[in-house]
Amino acid sequence: MSETTDFTVPERILVTGGAGFLGSHLVDRLLDDGHEVLCVDNFYTGSKRNIVHLLQHPRFELLRHDVTFPLYAEVDRIYNLACPASPIHYQRDPVQTTKTSVIGAINMLGLAKRLKVPILQASTSEVYGDPEVHPQDESYWGRVNPIGPRSCYDEGKRAAETLFFDYHRQHRTDIKVMRIFNTYGPRMDPADGRVVSNFIVQALRGEPITIYGDGSQTRSFCFVDDLIDGMVRLMATPPGFTGPVNVGNPGEFTMLELAEAVLRLTASESEIEFLPLPQDDPKQRQPDISVAEGELGWRPRIDLESGLASTVDYFRMLLSVDPRAVER
């Protein structure tokens, strides 16, 4: 395991995309660790609901800002998470998605370069596309369609990784690139079309569970607390450790298995409905996490059953206080 930076000294930390699903959990963790957080978000997909509990926090500051525009701030570290992450959101305005990934990366790297501070990029397993290598390790270059409906996200994230490594080689910027695999948990947007939120909301409302294709495609689902722990550990690695590092849960499930688990946990009587598979939908995905285990001393602790149970509790609570949350 690598030697880690001393995080006992409170720092001022920038989190872009801090009002989103992962960003808001990261902000909570950093505040709990005693840091000051500057949360930058344009609320494209994020929600005040995710950070409302922090608005009066003395060490929390919120700035509504679009990362495709330059940002001048004084911070000690940067986590760059700003980017819509679910297919229906990133495909709504694909040009803006590429701009956010690419121009957003340039601006945040420019900021990191000027301040000489470490910067972590929330990259994605989507850089592997529809992989012919299974499980995927970091040396795999991927199989991505450059001109399809998912390309704005996949190629945007690939270009951002290129920029991170070029700033590192050209300007010695201290970069950390994290390839995040499908993550779920409380504060997922119930209306963003991702499979875990869709299935739970459908089960709780007694609506049909929508399986795209025959349900044999696989994903590996990581609970959000595990993921955030991996992110903080990666940021704590010494300068020069760049990644990329896969962070995800290697437990691999078909969408049919996921649907059955959700039905069981919610005791729902929803039917299963089969709908067409979207174009370029990857058939299988599972992280090889040897690098995260070896370099970060990280491995996921929360299994799908218990992670889903707390996610179900969250959606049950959300739908009881705000039944229309699912429509936005």
Please pick, from the candidates 24, 182, 242, 311, the single residue that binds ligand UDP as defined by CB under 6 A: 182
Nearest approach, Cβ of 257 to ligand UDP (angstroms)? 12
Written as six digits, the tokens of 240 are: 């020069």
68 makes contact, choosing from ligand UDP, ligand NAD, none, with CB < 5 to 8 Å by partner type, with ligand NAD
Does 102 bind ligand UDP (CB under 6 A)? Our answer is no
198 makes contact, choosing from ligand UDP, ligand NAD, none, with CB < 5 to 8 Å by partner type, with ligand UDP
Q: Kindly tell me which of 182 and 266 has the beta carbon lying closer to ligand UDP.
A: 182
Q: Extract the runs of DSSP E, i.e. beta strands, from the chain.
A: 12-16, 36-41, 60-64, 77-80, 119-124, 175-180, 183-184, 209-212, 218-220, 222-223, 245-247, 252-254, 272-275
Alpha-carbon distance of 75 to 43, in angstroms, equals: 21
Interface segment toward ligand UDP; rule CB under 6 A; list 20-28, 31-39, 274-282, 304-312: 274-282
Does 274 bind ligand UDP (CB under 6 A)? Our answer is no
Please pick, from the candidates 10, 70, 240, 297, the single residue that binds ligand UDP as defined by CB under 6 A: 70
Alpha-carbon distance of 292 to 178, in angstroms, equals: 10
All residues at 6 or more sequence positions from 257 whose CB lies less than 8 Å from its CB, including other chains: none
Q: Which residue has the tokens 């963003």?
A: 192
Residues forming the active site: 153
Q: Kindly tell me which of 150 and 233 has the beta carbon lying closer to ligand UDP.
A: 150
Q: Kindly tell me which of 173 and 237 has the beta carbon lying closer to ligand UDP.
A: 173
In this structure, are residues 161 and 123 in contact, taking their beta carbons and an 8 Å threshold?
A: yes
Q: Kindly tell me which of 257 and 295 has the beta carbon lying closer to ligand UDP.
A: 257
The answer to whether the Cα torsion of 55, 57, 58, 62 is positive or negative is: negative
Nearest approach, Cβ of 59 to ligand NAD (angstroms)? 20
Q: Within a 10 A sphere around the Cβ of 294, how many other Cβ atoms?
A: 12
Does 316 bind ligand UDP (CB under 6 A)? Our answer is no
